[in-house]
Amino acid sequence: FRLLGDLSHVIAIIILLLKIWKTRSCAGISGKSQILFATVFATRYLDLLTTFVSIYNTLMKWMFLTTSFATIYLIYFKFRATYDKNHDTFRIEFLIIPSLILALLINHEFTVFEVLWTYSIYLESVAILPQLFMVSKTGEAESITSHYLFALGCYRGLYILNWIYRYVTEDFHDLIAIVAGIVQTVLYCDFFYLYVTKVLKGKKLQLPA
Amino acid sequence: NHSRNKHDEL
């Protein structure tokens, strides 16, 4: 489940990068969500400096870090002219500040690394909101953008199955990650519904008026 | 041990 989750996460990022690169445009993509994701990776993968788990683990962490910053570069620099700034108006301080406060209050251990890890988990769970807000504001999304959102939504959903599996087989569970993972997946539910009922039937993702 | 487990996930 974890491997499938990771793969679906990687596929989401590749879809997004390819979309921007091939169409030479980042229209419909929320730069703010991408900034939040880069923040998530940067604060979570600080453990690259302290803990070695496996080559797979290290490579994946580096990949998420580099691709998320590459995406930001494409949106805010290379294809800046195509960035839909007027529709990307979600106030991200409403996500950043509460996540930080929550991480300071509810964590496993009050240390810099641990609080930042917790912050990354909380922030990740809501990081997609600017993107979903943008889709709801414009009332539609290109098919490729919906494939990206679908793959990204599947990733945390698959992680929930991984957590159930780990709880059963290793008796390991991390309540912070589980609750945040559920919140994150629930946020995608509405989108999943539209994806299955519209995009998979060859229609464009268009919100009911 | 708890934190070792955690670094494992992405």
Are A15 and A153 spatial neighbours (Cβ–Cβ below 8 Å)? no
Which range among A65-69, A140-144, A179-183 shows the weakest confidence by mean pLDDT?
A140-144
* One-letter identity of residue A179: V
Domain positions in chain A: 2-201
Cβ <8 Å between B10 and A6: yes
Mean pLDDT of A130-153: 95
Predicted local confidence at residue A46, as pLDDT: 95
Mean of pLDDT over chain A: 96
- A199-208 tens-digit pLDDT: 889 888 888 7
Mean pLDDT for the stretch of residues A145-167: 96
Identify the residue among A172, A175, A178 best suited for mutation to test binding to B, counting B beta carbons within 10 A and taking the highest.
Answer: A172
Beta carbons of A57 and B7 less than 8 Å apart: yes
B5: which chain A residues are within 8 Å (Cβ-Cβ)? 170, 172, 174
pLDDT of residue A88: 97
Q: With an 8 Å Cβ cutoff, are A159 and B9 in contact?
A: yes
Mean pLDDT of A154-172: 95
Angstrom distance (rounded) from CA A125 to CA A178: 10
Q: What's the pLDDT tens digit per position in A25-55?
A: 999 999 999 999 999 999 999 999 999 999 9
pLDDT digits (tens, 9 = 90+) for B1-10: 455 577 889 9
**A136 neighbors A207 (Cβ within 8 angstroms):** yes
pLDDT digits (tens, 9 = 90+) for A99-139: 999 999 999 999 999 999 999 999 999 999 999 999 999 99
Contact A154, A188 (CB under 8 A): no
pLDDT band of residue A181 (cuts 50, 70, 90) is very high
Whether A66 shows a pLDDT value over 60: the answer reads: yes
User: pLDDT at position B1, please?
Assistant: 46
